[in-house]
Amino acid sequence: MIAPRILLIVGGGIAAYKACELVRLIRKAGGSTRCVLTEGGSHFVTPMALAALSEQEVHSSLWDLKNETEMGHIQLSREADLVVVCPATADLIAKMAAGIADDLATTLLLATDKPVVAVPAMNVRMWLHPATQRNVARLRADGVTVLDPDEGAMACGEFGPGRLPEPPFIWGEIEKLMDRPRPASAPGVEGGGLAGRHILVTAGPTHEPIDPVRYIANRSSGKQGYAIAGALAELGARVTLVSGPVALPTPPGVHRIDVESAREMAAAVDAALPADVAVMVAAVADWRAEDACGQKIKKDGSGLPPTLALAENPDILAGLAAGSRRPRLLIGFAAETENVIPHAIAKRDRKQADWIVANDVSGDVMGGDSNRIHLVTGTGVESWDRLTKDDVARRLAARIADEFA
């Protein structure tokens, strides 16, 4: 792991003193820390303590940055490898979730293009409050890594989840994040070969309701699409991930929009345009129940099953290809169980995609961790060795970056 540069935002809470210990651990491991102290934080630790431990100037107000050309708030938010909010109070979490920027800390959090980790600490009732839980879910969906607080006796005398995890644990989580591959910067391009590009990725299955308790679905786990979204973000792209129902965490730095059905996915894709690239990995259900019933369908006692009339779903990829806001590079997937390459070539023509990433899903690909890919482009077919889904994602992201080099 390279020595990390960490921007540490210290919020206002009794646990703020532990931020001092975190600074010490980061320094001990060879990293550097620049601290930003919120107004609340300054009631619990002094700028002097953080400055002495970090050996760097501590910032606490937007207006401290007296000379924007010397150290502007944008530069402050970008020069780090990682932004850590510790302790993240209920108020800071709420502002982050809402995109409020009314002081230096929240302005930096809105302006940063780096991964963000929030380490919550607050009273147990505040942590369990639906508003905080909603805000935490929002942040996680936006790609922020929100650690779970520890459980135990709190400074306020109550008991439960809400305590700040111990600094060695927080540092361990930071190390894990920093060990993930960092953006491979292309020469002259700040932040990776896809910096400045907006890339739309669809992933997962869709669920097509039959009635309020039943639906039509498929076996897609979303793993390949999520890995691709993460790999593109690592190369600096702004990634919008439109996801069907899956049980996966949002990759760092990715903006995720959750949908259920194919028609919702089509609407979310349309709303996310324009994009430079679209990678349509989702296993969209081809059909939906023609008349989804508002009430649970009951057995009528006749012993005969109900008839399920199906209607075809919109083809999101083909619609994007034919539309006026077609991304410059449009990539489809082809899940095939036989004649993989001929079917993929035909699919590329039929859907007017630039590339088709074809995979044989006859084995355990759906839900598994590896994939054998044939990349069908306008100039031919590249067959890749069997790779993990993460490696497929990195290779595809690098191919996309090459197109924009």
| Residue positions annotated with a catalytic role | 156
Comparison of 70 and 338: residue with beta carbon closer to ligand CTP: 338
Question: From residue 191 to residue 210, what is the string marking binding to ligand CTP with x (rule CB under 6 A)?
Answer: -----------x--------
Comparison of 124 and 330: residue with beta carbon closer to ligand CTP: 330
Question: What distances in angstroms separate CA 178 from CA 2, 3, 174, 261, 371, one per listed residue?
Answer: 8, 9, 6, 35, 26
Comparison of 347 and 389: residue with beta carbon closer to ligand CTP: 347
Burial 228-238 (b: 16+ CB within 10 A, else e): bbbbbbbbbbb
Minimal CA–CA distance to 401: which of 260, 257, 249, 228? 228
Residue with the two structure tokens 């919550």: 120
Question: From residue 329 to residue 358, what is the string marking binding to ligand CTP with x (rule CB under 6 A)?
Answer: ---xxxx-----------x-----------
Determine how many CB atoms are found less than 10 A away from the CB of residue 104: 23
- 222-281 residues near ligand CTP, rule: CB under 6 A: 262, 280
Task: Kindly state the tokens that stand for 309.
Answer: 């009339």
Among 3-11, 98-106, 247-255, 283-291, which window interacts with ligand CTP (CB under 6 A)? 283-291
- 311-330 residues near ligand CTP, rule: CB under 6 A: 313, 315-317
Among 88-96, 188-196, 282-290, 365-373, which window interacts with ligand CTP (CB under 6 A)? 282-290
Q: Should residue 282 be labelled a site residue for ligand CTP when binding is judged by CB under 6 A?
A: yes
CA–CA gap between residue 175 and residue 2 (Å, rounded): 10
Stated length of the chain:
405
Question: To the nearest whole angstrom, how small is the minimum distance from the Cβ of residue 234 to ligand CTP?
Answer: 22
Full DSSP string of 151-199: EEE-TTS-EEEEEPPPHHHHHHHHHHHHHSPPP-PPTT-TTSTTTT-EE
Q: Should residue 373 be labelled a site residue for ligand CTP when binding is judged by CB under 6 A?
A: no
Contact with ligand CTP (CB under 6 A) among 80, 117, 284, 393 = 284
| Cα distance from N-terminal residue to C-terminal residue, the chain | 27
116 DSSP assignment: E
Contact with ligand CTP (CB under 6 A) among 103, 260, 270, 286 = 286
Please name every residue paired with 380 in a beta bridge, in sequence order, or none if there are none. Answer: 377
Number of residues that bind ligand CTP (CB under 6 A): 16
Question: To the nearest whole angstrom, how small is the minimum distance from the Cβ of residue 381 to ligand CTP?
Answer: 16
| Binding site residues, ligand CTP, CB under 6 A | 202, 262, 280, 282-284, 286, 313, 315-317, 332-335, 347
